A = this chain, B = another copy of it.
Amino acid sequence: MNEALFFHAGCPVCVAAEQQFIHALDPEKYAVEVVHLGEQKDRIVQAERYGVKSVPALVIEGQPFHINFGAALADLK
């Protein structure tokens, strides 16, 4: 099982869409952890280490994918 991380900042407009997106991933391949960076600011460092520049972003096997364009990480600090 590979790790997938979904970083977001709680944008209410996006939550439904993001949920759909996460559920589209192959459950036999990926265990998805959802991280709300607004509530877990200590994990912003982790997101940055993966190359995440904005949220929502999905990290699959260490590779960041920025989805749409939401908030810059710098604005969450």
Contacts and interface: CB of A to CB of B under 8 A. Distances in A.
Interface residues of A, number: 20
B26 A65 contact: no
Given A24-B29, A24-B30, A25-B26, A65 B63 contact: no
B21 A60 contact: yes
A40 to B, nearest CB: 23
One complex includes copies of this chain to the number of 2
A17 B66 CA distance: 12
A61 interface: yes
Contacts of A28: 26
A67 B28 CA distance: 23
A29 B24 CA distance: 7
